[in-house]
Amino acid sequence: MDLAYSPEEEAFRARLREWLAKTLPSLPPKPSPDDWPGRRAYDLGWQRTLYDAGYGEVHWDASPTTRLIFLEETEKAGAPYVGAGFVGLLHAGPTIAAEGTAEQRARWLPPILRGEEVWCQGFSEPDAGSDLASLRTRARRDGDVYVVNGSKLWTSHAEVADWCELLVRTDAEAPKHRGISWLAMPMDAPGVTVRPLRTLAGSTEFAEVFLDDVRVPVANRVGAENDGWRVTMVTLSFERGTAFVGEVVACRRVLAEVAREARANGAWDDSGVRRRLGRANAEFRALWRLTQWNVSEGEASGGVPGASGGVPGASGRVPGVGGSVFKLRYSRARQELFELAAEVLGPDALDLGRGWVLDRLSSLSYTIAAGTSEIQRNIVGERILGLPKG
């Protein structure tokens, strides 16, 4: 399947390029990586700028192809990344748009689009990482609220978040995939404690979150009670689908820079380096084509990327496994790219002030984050190849 751009889509691309060229030079300087309140304000300010220009809703109130064009062009232009808005714009927001009620969409989507609220992701737990469905955080129904107890790990942007997309177990007796619910939890609720975690690269975009008798309204549940695993598959289809588009574009740009550096410092004379550069170029060209294929699938399925299999959603859309294929290969390709960059840099690869060095450290997490490579292989094996479980 190929992706052909319509005249209207190409016109959108041209307008976006023109707007970016006029707007980006006037942006304020980025805050320090350690200044999370400052980064929150900067990232939300950029989202407000997009909203005021008519681009705020592109992440879910637009076709997958339009989203692809937007992510491609903003990355090529060097526009700010979504940053602290990542979970709201690329995970929770699209999920609520696809699965939420009219009231939920009206409450949560406009503040995300206007750059007013930040979301974090409360999925993983100390004993439920790769096997996410084994989560133990409990939600006991008490009238019109759930009383939540447990903890979450690797909670993205929890330090500055207003809301959390939270997975909880609402039926301890049901099979583990069938007793889960998807809740929107206010981060300022009594009983929520956030403890930042420092990564290998020195940043603190993750945190532990402890939940002690946190009361969450039943009205904040997205989807039916105990149907949260299906809703989660919708979330993950976005996380593993178009959410990585900008990163593919960025990696292709880095690859070109690595090649230029190799020519400048003599590493190009090594035939092994040239061979690996050529292979990386082929990898990222193929990943870009796979991205376009997934977007074409998303167009055919009503907007959920990679919708080629799985369990039908409430709207009739089917979250599929195309995103898992992409994420599996992209994770490894990114690691290979920055290992190659380190080889080209030589001793400078130990200098944290040099470009690509911190990227190399962060690339180590990609075969774990958003579903480990082992889990992605299981999904591909079972849902595409039809292999038996186990």
Average of pLDDT values for 304-321?
Answer: 41
- Quick: pLDDT tens for 88-132: 998 899 899 989 999 999 999 999 999 999 999 999 998 877 778
Band (pLDDT 50/70/90 cuts) for residue 239 is low
Q: In whole angstroms, what separates CA 283 from the centre of its chain?
A: 21
What proportion of the chain, given as a percentage, has pLDDT over 70?
88
DSSP 333: H
Average of pLDDT values for 4-10?
Answer: 89
Average of pLDDT values for 339-367?
Answer: 83
The dihedrals phi and psi of 101, each to the nearest 5 degrees, come to: -75, 170
Average of pLDDT values for 205-232?
Answer: 95
- Quick: pLDDT tens for 173-194: 998 899 999 999 999 999 999 9
For residue 269, count other CB atoms closer than 10 A to its CB.
10
Reported residue count of the chain is 390
The Cα 158–Cα 154 span in angstroms is 9
Predicted pLDDT at 310? 39
Handedness of CA 127, 100, 234, 290 (dihedral sign): negative
Mean pLDDT of all residues belonging to the chain: 86
Residue 1 has pLDDT above 60, yes or no: no
Active site positions, annotated: 239
Element (H, E) at 294: helix 271-301
The Cα 4–Cα 286 span in angstroms is 16
The dihedrals phi and psi of 274, each to the nearest 5 degrees, come to: -65, -40
- Which amino acid would we find at residue 182? W
In the chain, the DSSP E strands lie at 119-122, 138-142, 145-152, 163-169, 180-186, 192-197, 206-217, 221-222
Token pair 């960059």: residue: 341
Residue 390 has pLDDT above 60, yes or no: yes
Residue 72 has pLDDT above 70, yes or no: yes
- Quick: pLDDT tens for 135-146: 999 999 999 999
What proportion of the chain, given as a percentage, has pLDDT over 90?
53
Per-residue b/e over 96-128, b at no fewer than 16 CB within 10 Å? bbbbbeeebbeebbebbbebebbbbbbbbbeeb
- Which amino acid would we find at residue 386? G
The Cα 316–Cα 314 span in angstroms is 6
Specify the higher pLDDT residue, 148 or 249: 148
220-229, 240-249, 313-322, 338-347: segment of lowest average pLDDT: 313-322
Q: At what angle do helices 322-345 and 271-301 cross, to 10 degrees?
A: 160
For residue 374, count other CB atoms closer than 10 A to its CB.
11
Predicted pLDDT at 256? 93
The burial class, CB within 10 Å (0-12 / 13-18 / 19+), for 341 is buried
Average of pLDDT values for 226-237?
Answer: 88
